[in-house]
Amino acid sequence: MQRRRLGNRLEVSALGLGCMSMSSGYGPPADKSEMIRLIRTAFDRGVTFFDTAEAYGPFTNEQLVGEALEPMREQTVIATKFGFDINPVTGARSGGVNSRPEHIRAVAEASLRNLRTDYIDLLYQHRVDPAVPIEDVAGAVKELMAAGKVKHFGLSEAGAKTIRRAHAVQPLAAVQSEYSLFWREPERELLPLLEELGIGFVPFSPLGAGFLTGKIDANTSFAPNDFRNLVPRFSVEARKANMALVEVVKDAAARKGVTPAQIALAWLLAQRPSIVPIPGTTKLHRLEDNLGSISVELSAEDLRQLGEAVSRLSLEGARLPEAALKMTGL
């Protein structure tokens, strides 16, 4: 497995594993023993970077990841998140955000217990809290780092001004946000900023929440508690319109003799050496498929053709409305 750097010092596998779908967001939780086996198989295949959050469950995903990785803790990098108003003891949600320094400290302590570890490799603010200055948030994480409880600081779904202000207090190793052929907004402002500041980028939903695998069409039905039911881009009408994107990816995959998922991930990996996607799955064969993207080489001409074909499309539907964010903690 190739390695990449997030920021100046955090080395991880070129592809990480997003673990949220194992516990929440995409329907009923998967079987715990099977997910432990999947996480450990990913490690055996060279994955060292695992993404979770207190909000996924709440807590059950952190607990799953902690149990799965306990035997190989020193060889792995675990990222988790704070930022929603969740009671760190009971798991009760208010539906809002909370990044008060005392809450950050309480969440970090709970995450350490859930993850069965005495340090968190990468701690993200999950969502910006408009009631708390980002300097106070960065300062609280800096204190946790000084205490040895956190090694690196990150932000999720933050804007450019917020990133600059946080980075000035405590340098960021990574920013996490949605990015894929299905959602290219980060190319406008975010990616140039991260390159300027030397911050790594961790795209979530790098396969467009499954859409870019080519396994979803207008006739696909989702479980009642699958967050995609709330996403305008996954309405039946939008899926019909957006199938043009899937066809572009399928055509590129056919030319290279690989799968659509591998094309989508290889395209992301080719954008910048500081990008580390975190596709999630609950299926072993999909894990193997995703990992195969590491060996897919896209030439400059491949990238040009793919980029131009996608740019000509007009995709329909907004992404991740507030209802979905609250439901999943994405």
| Paired residues of 200 in beta bridges | 174
Cα four-point dihedral sign 126, 150, 19, 87: negative
Burial 200-239 (b: 16+ CB within 10 A, else e): bbbbbbbbbbbbbbbebeeeeebeeebbbbbbebbbeebb
Instruction: Find, among 182, 222, 217, the residue nearest to 203 by Cα.
Output: 182
Tokens of 24: 């929440």
Least confident of 16-20, 73-77, 92-96, 301-305: 92-96
Tokens of 299: 């030439």
pLDDT higher than 90, residue 324: no
Indicate if 124 belongs to the active site: no
The label of the residue with tokens 């059950």 reads 60
Confidence of residue 104 (pLDDT cuts 50, 70, 90): very high
pLDDT tens digits along 175-191: 999 999 999 999 999 99
Distance in angstroms (rounded) separating the CA atoms of residues 330 and 178: 9
Model pTM score: 0.96
Tokens of 261: 């998922």
Confidence of residue 111 (pLDDT cuts 50, 70, 90): very high
Domain extents in the chain: 3-208+272-296
For 53-57, what is the mean pLDDT? 96
Set 26, 56, 124, 179: catalytic member: 56
pLDDT at 9: 87
The label of the residue with tokens 């329909």 reads 316
Distance in angstroms (rounded) separating the CA atoms of residues 301 and 310: 14
For 119-124, what is the mean pLDDT? 98
pLDDT at 60: 97
Say which CATH architecture domain 3-208+272-296 belongs to.
Answer: Alpha-Beta Barrel (3.20)
pLDDT tens digits along 220-264: 999 999 999 989 999 999 999 999 999 999 999 999 999 999 999
Encode 248-302 in three state secondary structure.
HHHHHHHHHCCCHHHHHHHHHHHHCCCECCCCECCCHHHHHHHHHHHHCCCCHHH
pLDDT higher than 80, residue 63: yes
